[in-house]
Structure 1
Amino acid sequence: MTDLVKLPEEEKLYRGTPIALTNITDQKKEARQFIDYLRTEESHQIFQKWGWK
């Protein structure tokens, strides 16, 4: 069973979402495009929609 515990805003802890290219991929162009997309305002709004800051 899981319980949801609501914390006051000042006590919330947020985690990052690191991303990196690897040397073993054969899709570097596509990976770079995805990373570039993650830096856009559109992507930021999607993260915010789902509760990320």
Structure 2
Amino acid sequence: MSFRASARFKAALTLAAAHENRSQANLLETLEFEFCRQKGIEVPAEPAQQQN
């Protein structure tokens, strides 16, 4: 997966991941799952495979 992000976002992600002693990818994953939990969004344990 890739996406564009501002230089400010990249700097914040780098600082936040270091603060939490996590990789940037792990921090984003953790934040996303927490967001979904707080909003009541059910995420399947194993999502269906996407077809290309």
Shared topology, TM-score over 0.5? Answer: no
In our comparison, the structure showing a higher alpha carbon Rg is 1
Bigger helix share? 2
